[in-house]
């Protein structure tokens, strides 16, 4: 019975191993898992909270800047302002970051000669 208990890894040990092994991922997957996912969770929680308080249609319209957070139909303005700001800044920023990583990965995959080799200065000439 002692061997079975020793074979089961504790939750903190599993989390520590997972956190230390995050370097095994490629750039895009690393960014999505450790940067994009937490931002998405925060954004989703903010949207759900605002949806419960102000209504789903109003929250959607505030997030997409169709409706102002200062509109009289918005019940809790502070939450709507946070959602509007995150919809205006965070969502396009995350989409742009993912697009940038995808494009740079495509360029890196097709690059045959390194830049430092291409642009070396010859002292002989």
Radius of gyration in angstroms for the set of CA atoms belonging to the chain, rounded to a whole number: 23
Confidence class of residue 4 from pLDDT cuts 50, 70 and 90? low
Give domain limits for the chain: 25-118
d(CA 65, CA 60): 9
**Looking at the predicted structure, is the pLDDT value of residue 3 above 60?**
no
Q: In this model, does residue 82 exceed pLDDT 90?
A: yes
pLDDT at 101: 82
Q: Which residues contact 28 (CB under 8 A, 6 or more apart)?
A: 98, 101, 102, 105
Tell me the pTM. 0.65
């Amino acid at each position: 019975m002692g061997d079975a208990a020793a074979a089961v890894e504790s939750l903190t040990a599993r989390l520590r191993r997972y956190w230390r092994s995050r370097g095994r991922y490629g750039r895009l997957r690393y960014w999505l898992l450790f940067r994009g996912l937490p931002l998405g969770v925060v954004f989703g929680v903010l949207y759900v909270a605002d949806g419960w308080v102000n209504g789903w249609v109003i929250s959607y319209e505030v997030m997409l800047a169709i409706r102002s957070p200062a509109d009289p139909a918005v019940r809790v303005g502070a939450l709507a302002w946070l959602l509007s700001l995150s919809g205006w800044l965070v969502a396009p920023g995350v989409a742009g970051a993912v697009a940038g990583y995808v494009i740079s990965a495509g360029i890196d995959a097709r690059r045959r000669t390194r830049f430092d080799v291409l642009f070396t200065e010859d002292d002989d000439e």
